[in-house]
Structure 1
Amino acid sequence: MNHALTLPAGWIISSRLMPAWPIDADHVLELEAAEHTGDGRIRWRYRLSRKRRVIFSADDISSGVGARLTTEELASAARTVLAFLTLQPGDTDSDVFSNYTQAQLRWRDRWAEELSLYALDDRCGYCGSEGHPSPGCDAR
């Protein structure tokens, strides 16, 4: 479903041929539109890896009703997925973490707070500036 889609600045195509956001030097979020739902949403398939080791993999995030597959929607979906994956105790109901593996809990406790900055809309996780995406920042 991602053919002919222009990738957001700094994104790459992964070895699995999926659009991929290199969040920082160690973390990559692969994301693709898996399907359109009956109510006009895009269901997203994603994989978050740290140093090539998959931490999360699912297809449980959907866009808003009537979303169209665009570069901006892809970037927005990536921030949404990352915001969800970087939730911490106190941010949401504890039920969210009940099915996490021990590796996912360790990852959350070590990396979630730091990586949550990259999920902020229109703010660079590297330098904190507004108006440019984080991948490969170099104070763009």
Structure 2
Amino acid sequence: MAVLDGIALPPRWRITSRLLAGWPIDEGHLLELWPHGRTPEGRIRWLYRLSYRNRTIFSATDISSPAGTVLSTCTLITSATTVLRFLTLCPGDTDAEYFDSSTRTQINWRDRFAEELSLYAMEDVCAYCGGDHASPGCGMW
């Protein structure tokens, strides 16, 4: 089991070359994330990077955990699910303005992969094994 800064990484996760927690979602996609400080309200701000075949599609620090969240393996899993849920939003899922700052690369990626990858962001059904748990923590795959 890999451990990064005292946090046990979920099954199949690894420590990336950037020294971040990395979730290899499928053959081509890797979601890297790690805490990037706290907001004034005490929320964990997450640094994340979603890449496809080593090409960065999204990278930001605009997602935070609920106030008072303690860093743990469970928090990492929940945060990965939250990040992926936002990154896989499609037109009709939210206001059109959400996509105004999207790059051509992000739009092309969304149109090609978002629907399929959104299955891995579900909280109660694992896209790997069909179990009633979040995909980022599945040890069955």
Normalised by the size of structure 1, how large is the TM-score? 0.92
Verify the 8 A CA contact 1:123 1:134 in the aligned structure 2.
no
The answer to whether the 8 A contact 1:26-1:51 is kept is yes
Deviation at 1:131, TM superposition (A): 3.3
Q: Aligned ranges for residues 86-97 of structure 1 at < 5 Å?
A: 86-97=88-99
1-side partners of 2:121 and 2:65: how far apart? 15
Of 56, 70, 73, the match for 1:71: 73
- Assess if the C-alpha contact under 8 Å between 2:13 and 2:23 holds in 1: yes
Q: Percent identity?
A: 51
Partner amino acid, structure 2, of 1:16 = R
**Counterpart in 2 of 1:120?**
122
Q: Equivalent residue for 1:51?
A: 53
Q: 2:43 aligns with which of 32, 41, 44?
A: 41
Counterpart CA distance in 1 for 2:136 and 2:37 is 27
Partner residue, 1:26: 28
Q: Decide whether the 8 Å contact of 2:122 with 2:134 is kept in 1.
A: no
* Runs of 4+ more than 6 Å apart: none
Cα distance between partner residues in 2 of 1:90 and 1:134: 26
Contact kept? 1:9, 1:133, Cα under 8 Å: no
Deviations 1:35-86 (A, max 9, x none): 0112110000000000110000000000001101010001100000000000
Q: Deviations over 1:75-112 (max 9, x none)?
A: 10000000000000000001110000001000001100
User: Alignment partner for residue 133 of structure 1, among 131, 135, 140?
Assistant: 135
RMSD: 1.7
Unaligned runs of 5+ residues in structure 2 are none
Report deviation, 1:132: 6.1
Matches within 5 A, 1:77-88: 77-88=79-90
Gaps of 5+ in 1: none
Structure 1 counterpart SS, 2:111: helix
Length-normalised TM-score, structure 2: 0.91
Name the structure 2 match of 1:101. 103
Number of equivalenced pairs = 138
Distance 1:64 1:46 in 2: 17
After TM superposition, give the deviation of residue 136 of structure 1 in Å: 7.5
